[in-house]
Amino acid sequence: MDKAEKVMNLAVRRGFFWPAYEIYGGVAGMYVWGPLGVVLKNKIIGLWRAMFIESHDFLEIESPAIAPYVVFEASGHVGSFKDIMVSCRDCGRKFRADTLLVEKGIEVSEAASLEEVDSIIRENKVRCPVCGGVFGKSSYFTTMFKTTIGPYSESVGFLRPETAQGMFVEFKRIYESFRRRFPIGIAQIGRGFRNEISPRQGPIRLREFDMMELEYFFDPENSDCPYLEEVLDEELNLLHEELIRKGGKDYETMTVREALENKVIKNGCMAYFMVLATRFIELLGIPRENQRFKEKLEGERAHYAIQTFDQEVKLDRWGWVEVSGHANRTDYDLSSHIKMSGRDLYAYRQLDKPREVEVLEVTPLPKKIRRDYGDKIRDIMRDLSKIEAEELKSLLLKNGFIEVAGVKLSKEYFDIKKYVKQVTVEPFIPHVVEPSFGLDRIAYAVLEYAYREVNDRVVLSLPPYLAPYDVSVYPLVEDDKLLEIAEDIRDSLAADGYRVLYDTKESIGRRYARADEIGVPIAVTVDHRTLEDDSVTVRDRDTWRQYRIKRDEVSRFIDLVIQGYGFDEVAGDMGLESFVSKE
RNA sequence: GCGGCCGUGGUGUAGCCUGGUAGCACAUCGGCCUUCCAAGCCGGGGGUCCCGGGUUCAAAUCCCGGCGGCCGCACCA
């Protein structure tokens, strides 16, 4: 049994996660997060919010998971999802038609139809590169889930493959409602959907999964990152383009300063978020040496990015697995939506000193037109209004006339004003760097890294602030007096806001073991001495060390431990007497 | 999608080859005992043997199809 199997076994048995729809045979790529798993995920989300949103005063939104066709048409997803596949009739292997043909030196336009691709394959006698077999008919495949919105089948919608488009589409609203704050970070935590062809790898590759995404909008003319100073000397593990091209398999560790100076990372804020991501994953219990950032090469990158690093963690069965992606999306998305929607999604840049801008205004002179063209003025004016102002200007200046309503209208019929204007703001399209995290993979990785076996017992050494219960409370034995006190402690800790696991059945050792297995960091045990001096013992999940503590100090003790201070350290600071059981 | 292996209480499995009452361990529940690490004893519950079809007097077992899982190939914008 490998580690992944053990972790999944534990996850199913104790209720962290399991495959969905099992009673009907199951559906590949879909999992249920159980009661303990949901708590874990929520705690991971809480940490992410604190680190990526709250500490920068960024803004979080929730936008719909379903979007009309046009959104993903604009974003380029429709185009880059609609790949043409061909499969070999002999061995059944599937290939993307475009990459197959490009390898043969044949150019295919992206807009080529299925029939065109089929005939190109036939004419060039392209065979299966693996077995030499003949290809069957080509077909489209898309990894976006398609649906209809409302009862009309022509109203096509997609389930979003990323939450990011919500931030782009709604950018202007958020920007305006927060008084044009800039630079601005907008985040979203939510479900995304990708109809994977053949998902495997358990909870690592899902068809439906939670993402935590942040879009950081900045001015391309002032791309200095305001947070950079603090992280310049921090190290990153980078398997960057140059290293990959040299055939390097291992990452190289360098400081942010070096990475930026050597242009390994081309954007300051991207580097900053990569540092945050490293700290975040480290706080989740995955040491730095098992993390790295692998650069995506040209061709591997998503259509919208000019530079991308995947943050990967090393997993036992699957090796390096992506847990977050860091992409420089430039102004790709906002520009695309401006073009598609015709709406203004610009931000405004305050200029240091007023700038003089040459303005050219062209206005038709109706009286003059009526004098010379009479009733035709109606058609002329109507057609003129249809022409874009910029186009009108350039045509008029180039040709000296413009043809409307069958009339060559010379520039005498226009009032052409040229003047210089002072401006203090100017519009621009923000650029974006995006850190985007896959929550389900992260939660799985956390479990795998927390998983330990000690003398045939399973211990889940989760960081205390991630554990599904903060503390467990036990009477040493099922004795009425001990039970009463234990219940009392349980209730008061619950009232203090802790998640308490209360267990009275079977031997104390077995109860410790059950709690260790799901990662409860602290055990509080009421024993016979409690009756004498109102003290209880606290036990550390990882070391099994115990200390004696006054009942009314337990809450503070728990608070410090789940903040991340070490168990022994807190006990020492509080001057607790260590407890050793007889025997 | 292709190839290989596989699917039996919650978990891990035996039984399948050679068709004939589905067994074991752990977990779980109740009781007894018990002053600190899955202790012991007694008792209980829990199985559409992945689904469908076929062969047969009889199918967990043999045959066919499907679904699901793992590994490899392909795919993962």
Q: What is the mean pLDDT of each run of 10 residues along chain A (583 residues)?
A: 85 90 83 92 97 95 92 84 66 63 64 70 71 68 80 82 93 91 94 82 87 95 92 96 86 95 95 97 95 88 89 90 94 90 87 76 78 82 74 78 81 78 85 95 94 87 95 92 92 95 89 92 94 93 94 96 94 92 61
Q: Integer distance in angstroms from CA A91 to C1' B60?
A: 34
Q: Which of residues 54-93 of A touch strand B (CB under 7 A)?
A: 77, 80-81, 83, 87, 91-93
pLDDT given for residue A63 in this prediction: 94
In tens, the pLDDT along A166-176 reads 999 999 999 98
In tens, the pLDDT along A76-116 reads 888 776 667 776 666 555 666 766 666 666 666 655 666 77
In A169-259, the DSSP E strands lie at 184-193, 208-218, 235-239, 252-255
Structure tokens at A321: 């697995």
Nearest residue to A295 via CA among A315, A273, A272, A311: A311
Dihedral of alpha carbons A241, A245, A251, A255, sign:
negative
Q: How far is CA A518 from CA A34, A316, A355, A478, A494, in A?
A: 13, 20, 64, 23, 19
Cα atoms found within 13 Å of the Cα of residue A33, Cβ hemisphere only: 19
What is the C-alpha separation between A95 and A108, in angstroms, rounded?
15
Task: State whether the beta carbon of A579 lies below 7 angstroms from any atom of strand B.
Answer: yes
Q: Integer distance in angstroms from CA A331 to C1' B32?
A: 74
What is the C-alpha separation between A242 and A459, in angstroms, rounded?
41
In tens, the pLDDT along A315-352 reads 988 889 999 999 999 999 999 998 888 888 999 888 87
Q: What is this structure's pTM?
A: 0.85
Closest CA-bearing residue to C1' of B10: A13
What's the burial of A297, exposed, middle or buried (CB within 10 Å: 0-12/13-18/19+)?
exposed
Tell me if A3-81+143-332+433-439 shares its fold with A457-579: no
pLDDT given for residue A102 in this prediction: 64
What three-state secondary structure class fits A519? coil
Greatest Cα pair distance in chain A:
115
CATH class of A457-579: alpha beta
Structure tokens at A54: 């709250």
pLDDT given for residue A83 in this prediction: 64
Spans of all domains in chain A: 3-81+143-332+433-439, 82-142, 348-427, 457-579
Task: List all nucleotides in chain B with at least one atom under 7 A from a protein Cβ.
Answer: 1-3, 7, 10-12, 27-30, 33-39, 48, 50-51, 66-71, 73-77
pLDDT given for residue A258 in this prediction: 96
Whether residue A183 has a cis bond before it, omega within 30° of 0: yes
What's the burial of A500, exposed, middle or buried (CB within 10 Å: 0-12/13-18/19+)?
buried
Place of tokens 């007023």: A354
Closest CA-bearing residue to C1' of B38: A510
Mean pLDDT of chain A: 87
Can you name the CATH fold of A3-81+143-332+433-439? BirA Bifunctional Protein; domain 2 (3.30.930)
DSSP state of A147: E
Asked whether the beta carbons of A311 and A325 are under 8 A apart, the reply is yes
pLDDT given for residue A195 in this prediction: 83
Question: How distant is the alpha carbon of residue A55 from its chain centre?
Answer: 18
Asked whether the beta carbons of A217 and A185 are under 8 A apart, the reply is yes
Structure tokens at A280: 């975040």
Q: Cβ neighbours of residue A116 under 8 Å, at least 6 residues apart?
A: A108
Nucleotide nearest to A303 (CA to C1'): B77
Q: What type of residue is A552? A: D
In tens, the pLDDT along A140-187 reads 667 788 888 877 667 888 999 999 999 999 999 999 899 888 899 999
Nearest residue to A270 via CA among A233, A321, A230, A307: A307
Q: Integer distance in angstroms from CA A21 to C1' B49?
A: 19
Complex ipTM more than 0.90, yes or no? no
pLDDT given for residue A409 in this prediction: 81
pLDDT given for residue A405 in this prediction: 78
pLDDT given for residue A476 in this prediction: 93
pLDDT given for residue A82 in this prediction: 62
CATH of A82-142, one of 3.90.260.10, 3.30.930.10, 3.20.20.80, 3.30.40.230: 3.30.40.230
What is the C-alpha separation between A321 and A446, in angstroms, rounded?
13
Cα atoms found within 13 Å of the Cα of residue A379, Cβ hemisphere only: 11
What's the burial of A271, exposed, middle or buried (CB within 10 Å: 0-12/13-18/19+)?
buried
